[in-house]
Structure 1
Amino acid sequence: MFRSLGVGLALFASSLGAQTLDFMSATSIDGTAKTLGGLSAIETGDGVHALAVSDRGFFFDLHLMRDAAGVIVEVQASPANIAPTQQDTEGLAMTPSETYVSFEGPARIRTLDGMSLRRHSDFRKMPSNRALEALAIDADGRLYTLQERTGTSDAPFPLYVFDQGRWTKTDVIPKRGPFVPVGADFGPDGFLYLLERHFTPIGFRSQIRRFDLAKPDLGEKLLLTTFALQHDNLEGITVWTDPDGHIRLTLVSDDNFQPLQRNQVVEYRLTE
């Protein structure tokens, strides 16, 4: 039932010209671990094996099973062989040799082996439940993060970059509508993909924008805007290339450990 609703709303959004993404699938996550839930970030390189982290500090290996057309038909989750961190883990970024996680409270970033990165002075001022939701790493190993809220309803979002042992604020991401950042990833095309959400009285809405950080105007492009109830509380995004050379955006939802919400993997394909 939920998948049919998602397909119908995605097609309706596309007919309005609201997206340049093809909806592929929305699949519930199966797993028996009592800690499974609250998933807030996801990373994959091949679209089959993924790592996810919950906002309670637990890591999960996700197996994305696909049909002959490459559509996800089942998702199995099992606890990863990674020691839990403290709570409020929200962002995830990986290189072949290192994995980083970001925290909302207090705002900070650390590696899986426990090394904490130097904090930008702004991090100390961020509210504990509105801080570093999104984390991404580019091809040159630079970390990027931005906070969920900046204090006022229309304030832009400073983009913090960690490079060569220090933080700088390089760009400002403009705020568009009621949406706030919850996830980010660099795609194989070198662009920054930003996942944003908005909570309405009847459910969550999501927005995805893409940025070319090499351009002075950031080359902003709106890729997707969803309706309430189209998907659940999407919080994590990973961008990769499928075997046919298409860019795919794989998203994970946070069920907040509530029975009426869903742990779900949602996937779109870039249509450009």
Structure 2
Amino acid sequence: MDTPGAEPAGSYRWIAKAPWFGGFSGIEMSDDGMSMLALSDRSILVSAKLRREDGRVSGAEVTSANWVRSSKNKPLLGRAGDSEGLAVAPDGGHYISFEGVHRLARYADPESRSEVLPRPNAFKHLAGNGSFEPLAIDDQGRLYTMPESSRAVDGTIPVYRWDGKRWSTPFKLPPRGDYLPVGADFGPDGRLYVLERATGALGFRSRLRRWTVSDTAATQEETILDTRAGTHENLEGVSIWRDAKGKLRATMISDDNFVFFLRTEIVEYTLPE
């Protein structure tokens, strides 16, 4: 399918010689698009400075790499360290969602121990490898997450919201085709963007949908990106920001699954208003 609305703004293959490098499933861009946080699904949080030429990413320099830590201040390993979603809070701290052991945690800084959020009963019944990949935070500091493959009884995608005191399910999103949600972000326009992925014999397909969100509903659904198979690698993380020209831009990062035939790719598109 052709891209509906979004325009390609560059693709960069990121390479770093480090044993921990790869598996990126979350990304958060700085307001000026010149630095980023990237989260590996093996609990490594990486800071990097970007180089750009004519607005396109032309380089990425790692400035720090830290193990994501447990509530006991130990590096997370194995199933407990299956970190997927990343969201930066207004106070500068950040949140991470985990898929192996279904939970969300807050971190004051990249080197701090985790503060695990309460886990409602609904989390106990999620699929073992199909829970919290997307994670986003709105301008009120409320967290939104959704399971990758687990569904509500009616087949919709349940969206869970943490308001700082309790969890709720303010709305559900309609699935479309064989895509699964793998990343999310609130853009500077206030809309919720969800990155979705589908797999097949010809490679990965990526789709980006967005909604206008109220306290109890997600409306005005739009599909603004839908790529052909093999256009990009396994895109899993997304960050929405405005570039120097004031255009909305989506920056996405791929998970290479630590296999030689996949690449770590930073992909950007400018988006329609």
TM value normalised by structure 1: 0.89
Separation (CA, whole Å) in 2 of partners of 1:223 and 1:147: 22
Matched residue type, 2:95: Y
Please name the residue that 1:148 is paired with.
Answer: 148
Tell me if the contact between 2:224 and 2:272 (Cα under 8 Å) persists in the aligned partners: no
User: For residue 21 of structure 1, what is the aligned residue in structure 2?
Assistant: 6
Aligned to 1:110: 105
Per-residue CA deviation, residues 175-230 of structure 1 (Å, 9 max, x unaligned), is 01100100000000000000000110121111100010128561100001111110
Distance (Å, rounded) in 2 between the aligned partners of 1:39 and 1:155: 28
1:88 to 76, 79, 82: 82
List per-residue Cα deviations over 1:2-41 (Å, max 9, x = no partner).
xxxxxxxxxxx5xx4x421110111011211110010000
Structure 1 equivalent of residue 183 of structure 2: 183
Question: Is 1:119 paired with 2:140?
Answer: no
Shift of 1:61: 1.5
Residue of structure 1 equivalent to 2:227:
226
Tell me which residue corresponds to 2:19: 34
Does the CA-based 8 Å contact 1:30-1:76 persist in structure 2? no
**Whole-angstrom distance in 2 between the partners of 1:224 and 1:117:** 33
Would you say 1:173 and 2:138 are equivalent positions? no
TM score, norm. by length of structure 2: 0.89
Q: Give SS of 2:124's match.
A: helix
Q: Aligned partner of 1:30: which letter?
A: I
SS at match of 1:222: strand
| Structure 2 gaps, min length 5 | 69-74, 108-112
8 Å Cα contact 1:104-1:131 kept in structure 2: yes
RMSD: 1.9
In structure 1, C-alpha distance between the alignment counterparts of 2:227 and 2:265, rounded to whole Å? 16
In structure 1, give the amino acid aligned to 2:86.
L
Q: What is the alpha-carbon distance in structure 1 between the residues aligned to residue 115 and residue 84 of structure 2?
A: 17
* CA shift for structure 1 position 154: 8.4
2:154, 2:238 → 1: CA distance? 24
Contact 1:50/1:62 (<8 A) preserved: yes
Amino-acid identity (%) = 39
SS at match of 1:122: helix
User: What's the CA shift string for 1:157-180, capped at 9, x where partnerless?
Assistant: 011000131000000000011001
Kept after mapping to 1: 8 A contact 2:132/2:148: yes
Query: Which residue is equivalent to 1:7?
Result: none
Aligned residue runs from structure 1 range 196-215, under 5 A: 196-214=196-214
One-letter amino acid of the structure 2 residue matched with residue 257 of structure 1: F
Match of 1:98 in 2: 93
- The answer to whether the 8 Å contact 1:105/1:127 transfers is no
Contact 1:33–1:79 under 8 Å retained in 2 = no
